[in-house]
Chain A
Amino acid sequence: MSRYFVDRISRRLALCFGTVAFLILIFIAVFILKGSLPALGEIGVADILFSTEWYPSHGAFGIFTMFAGSVVVTILALAIAVPLAVGCAIFLAEVAPCRIGNMARPAIELLVGIPSVVYGLVGMIVLCPAIAHLSGTGSGSSVLAAAIVLAIMVLPTITSISEDSLRAVPTLYKEGALALGATHWQAVYHVLLPAARRGIVAAVVLGTGRAIGETMAMVMVIGNSPILPTSIFAPARTLTGNIASEIGAATGMHESTLFVTGLVLFVLIMAINSVGLLLNRRKK
């Protein structure tokens, strides 16, 4: 009898925990929405979302520059990280001898554990001066510096999930391809990669989410100028950086627009995750 009792209790408990997780999500959504309402009502959705002028002390609250900043930096970072990460995953899953793979894998996974402020610091001290030298003007705090730092930060996430999905492809597929006379590379490119596509897409979506949400390292290397990212050598500002650097001092309408910034981030992340789910579902 007690066996069934435990079973029933644990099922209820699991239900409770599941509900709590869901409630937390609802709570956060309501909290952000409530904080945003004063600004959305008084300034107007369009004037916040599409204005490029951010000057809170003079009553200008446009966050379009930061939206553009976040999107551009993330796209650039993925453009750098995805080829590297997928290449790395192919190497680990297919090419690397066991011993090298066993050394490289923990090293790559260790990259996830490095606090983002450390990435920011390295970017600030090493990368920014190098970029300043390269571009010949400015301090090096730039879209490019942010994209490179971000690429390194999402690299391990994309690599390890891609590697897992490459390894999850049944050996039969590869053996079949090889038996038909395909070379190793042909088997990887034409059989393994398409078969692992879903996992790789999931990896990229996860990486995108992490990239959009990254804050500290971005604040440290991007310069935080609220201008449109028109050049990779010019500074810009991200949505996350806008909240982080101003919330401590913000009151009233200014504080409320920072909540709107959070709302935009929230919607953006949800959109990315939905796209990921959709892509996942279609190719079944």
Chain B
Amino acid sequence: MYLKINRKKVSVFMTGCVLLAVLALGGCSQGASGTIAIGGSSTVQPLAEKWGKAFEAKNPDVKITVQGGGSSAGVKGCAEGIFDIGAASREMKSSEADQWPELVAIHVAVDGVAIVINPASNSVTGMTLEEVRDIFASGSNATWTVINREEGSGTREVFEEKVMSDTKVAPNAEFLPSNGAVKQKVAATANAIGYISLGYVDSSVKALSIGGVACNEVNCAEGSYPVTRYLNFITKGAPDGLSKEFIDFCLGSEGQKIVGEEDYISIA
């Protein structure tokens, strides 16, 4: 008997609490609130995190989470409703557009793909596209340890399209799951060669000039560097509500300023 009464009291109290909480939440619903889940390309990830922080700072009731996983995972995840916004470091493929016609891609920044080598063990500073292609096509050997990206990486798609043309990367190359992993491996391995987003390049690796054109923001912006791509946000249908507010923020002057600070290239 004693127990029963107590339980009743507790449940009444709990119900009251829940009601109060609902009222409180309902009361302060002006101003953006809610959560946005972003996921996909590891190239877009650092940028999306910075955008997310800046947006959260302006809208304290908004929570933005950013995950990696690769561009294809971003597109697939958005289509399946796992992410509110999918991130892709390439354009949507026709196969994806066929499978999920409701998806919409929005350019949010420009990025270059840097061909990087180990700086300590190698004095090479530049190559032609053909030389890069030959090295990746013949694979790891005594001269080079070739680092490739996993299937589904947007950076890999862009690299295959713009550098490899129809040639395949040799299967004995190592396959690593992110820009960060490739950078770490190239920095730690003598004779390693790989490719990463320009936004990831720092002094631990050496970015090669291609056909005499240095890989930097200026050359990528004006298009003289040959391996560049748009970074995309993917939404299910045209963005609306909170997602639209966030994407508008990214495309606005404040968002595009962050693009430059993170060593990516803002869209003109």
| B175 pairs with A225, CB closer than 8 A | yes
| A245 pairs with B175, CB closer than 8 A | yes
Contact mask A103-139 → B, CB, 8 Å, 1/0? 0000000000000000000000000010010000111
| A223 pairs with B175, CB closer than 8 A | yes
Contact mask A154-172 → B, CB, 8 Å, 1/0? 0000000000000000000
Q: Interface-forming stretch among A36-44, A249-257, A259-267?
A: A249-257
| B189 pairs with A246, CB closer than 8 A | no
Residues on the B chain within 8 Å of A53, using CB = 171
Q: Interface-forming stretch among B4-12, B58-66, B144-152?
A: B144-152
A138 to B118 CA separation, bound complex (whole angstroms): 12
Q: Which of A225, A248, A251, A252 gathers most chain B CB within 10 Å?
A: A248
Asked if A54 meets B175 with Cβ closer than 8 Å, knowing A139-B188, A251-B99, the reply is no
| B172 pairs with A249, CB closer than 8 A | no
| A55 pairs with B145, CB closer than 8 A | no
**Distance (Å) between the CB of A284 and the closest chain B CB?**
47
Contact mask B61-99 → A, CB, 8 Å, 1/0? 000000001111100110000000000000000011001
| A58 pairs with B72, CB closer than 8 A | no
Residues on the A chain within 8 Å of B70, using CB = 248-249
**Distance (Å) between the CB of A233 and the closest chain B CB?**
11
Residues on the A chain within 8 Å of B69, using CB = 248-249
Residues on the B chain within 8 Å of A55, using CB = 168, 171
A246 to B174 CA separation, bound complex (whole angstroms): 14
| B150 pairs with A245, CB closer than 8 A | yes
Q: Which of B99, B174, B176, B177 gathers most chain A CB within 10 Å?
A: B174
**Distance (Å) between the CB of B103 and the closest chain A CB?**
13
| B172 pairs with A227, CB closer than 8 A | yes
**Distance (Å) between the CB of A263 and the closest chain B CB?**
19
Partner of A56, one of B96, B147, B151: B151
| B175 pairs with A224, CB closer than 8 A | yes
| B145 pairs with A138, CB closer than 8 A | yes
Asked if A54 meets B171 with Cβ closer than 8 Å, knowing A139-B188, A246-B151, A250-B151, the reply is yes
Residues on the B chain within 8 Å of A254, using CB = 151
A207 within 8 A of B: no
8 Å CB interface, A56-71 against B: 56-58, 65
8 Å CB interface, A137-163 against B: 137-141
Query: Which residue of A is nearest B82, CB measured?
Result: A248
A254 to B70 CA separation, bound complex (whole angstroms): 16
A23 to B99 CA separation, bound complex (whole angstroms): 33
8 Å CB interface, B136-180 against A: 140, 142, 145, 147, 150-153, 157, 160, 168, 171-177
Residues on the B chain within 8 Å of A137, using CB = 142, 145, 191
Partner of B73, one of A140, A234, A248: A248
A226 within 8 A of B: yes
A249 to B89 CA separation, bound complex (whole angstroms): 13
A237 to B190 CA separation, bound complex (whole angstroms): 22
Query: Which residue of B is nearest A219, CB measured?
Result: B177
A199 within 8 A of B: no
Query: Which residue of B is nearest A125, CB measured?
Result: B188
- Chain A to chain B contacts (Cβ below 8 Å), 15 pairs: A137-B191, A138-B140, A139-B145, A140-B189, A224-B176, A225-B171, A234-B172, A237-B175, A246-B150, A246-B152, A248-B152, A250-B152, A251-B95, A251-B96, A252-B95
Known A139-B188, A235-B172; further 20 A-B contacts with Cβ < 8 A: A53-B171, A54-B171, A55-B171, A57-B151, A137-B145, A138-B189, A139-B145, A223-B175, A225-B172, A226-B171, A227-B172, A234-B172, A235-B174, A245-B150, A245-B175, A245-B177, A248-B70, A248-B73, A250-B72, A251-B99
| Residue ranges of B at the interface with A (Cβ–Cβ < 8 Å) | 69-73, 76-77, 95-96, 99, 140, 142, 145, 147, 150-153, 157, 160, 168, 171-177, 185, 188-192
